[in-house]
Amino acid sequence: MAAMTVIEAVRSTLEEALGADERVFLLGEDVEAGGVFRATDGLWGKHPERVIDSPLAESAIIGLAIGAAHYGMRPIAEIQFADFIHAGFDQLCSEASRWCYRTSGDAYLPMVVRTPWGGGVHGGQHHSQSIEAYYAHMPGIKVVAPSFPADYRSLLRAAIADPNPVLFLEHKRTYRLIRQEMDGAPAETVIGRARVTRRGGDLTIIAYGLMLHESLAAAETLASEGTECTVVDLLTLNPLDRETILESARATGKVLIVHEDTLTGGLGGEIAAIIAEHAFEYLDAPIRRVAGPDIPPMPFHHAMEDFFMPNREKIAAAARELGAY
């Protein structure tokens, strides 16, 4: 298999799922025409009965997916931008997340909600949000956020096969930015596992999505200065892979957590708490976080967006401070 971008990995996996299982169908705003980012481009022509345009109503999209999944289908709902998913918050968190629990395991809900998230595309306050912490907080919903095309393919397949709801986050900045040779590429096939993408003995950097790539770039810079970093790609945000997180923290004694979501209430706080509770005696320095500032929206102006977004320079600077302990 040749090199693929993230968007090609998503599209090819959706096409394979539609071809392999007649219970699978896609629904969302403009999916028949390919969607805003062209993730479903060409799929309506091949499967017109199972690629379905919806109204501009996120609550209806998710509600329909819940009903269809309950009656044996395997819906893949697309929310055009993650910023708009909150209109379906009640359907996801009050209904979908509790379906298996409220029936004592008698009923399952095999549904996937895909949505592009994150900044770096000059989308301003309505097209740049990081929404993962809201939903990773909710038991009953798995939250997946891959970084590389091979993981997009394998984890999207795993999400479609899962008997319970999966929120599948696709960082829009990486759609065409990240390309990977697929032959021999490592790919996680199980939801709930992280991967160590780089090993070093001086400190650990934990990240996901676009920030994983920025962290790897920062690690390259730090290596040229004599600091070797372990870089952990979380891949799944709920459930977190505590074993990999703790193993890496214990091995290096210094931990830097990176996400572009705002600092307060971001996923980094939960990861820091896990390490503080279970690996405190191994730490040689305080746990550090690099995150977006506590500003309500992502700024539209390019310079202000750059100020908001963590990047490789900010990550490297924080790592140097951490390494000085």
The residues annotated as belonging to the active site are 127
Q: State the Cα–Cα distance between residues 38 and 10, nearest whole angstrom.
A: 10
**Token representation of residue 325:** 């302990």
Of 290, 305, 151, 311, which Cα lies nearest the Cα of 217? Answer: 311
Q: State the Cα–Cα distance between residues 274 and 175, nearest whole angstrom.
A: 31
Which residues are within 8 A (CB) of 104 and not within 5 positions of it... i.e. 6 or more apart? none
Using an 8 Å Cβ cutoff, are 143 and 238 in contact?
Answer: yes
Burial of 303 (0-12, 13-18, 19+ CB in 10 A): exposed
CA-CA distances (angstroms) from residue 236 to 141, 142, 152, 202, 208? Answer: 11, 8, 11, 25, 9
Of 102, 32, 96, 40, which Cα lies nearest the Cα of 64? Answer: 96
Of 127, 130, 122, which Cα lies nearest the Cα of 292? Answer: 130
**Token representation of residue 22:** 């007649």
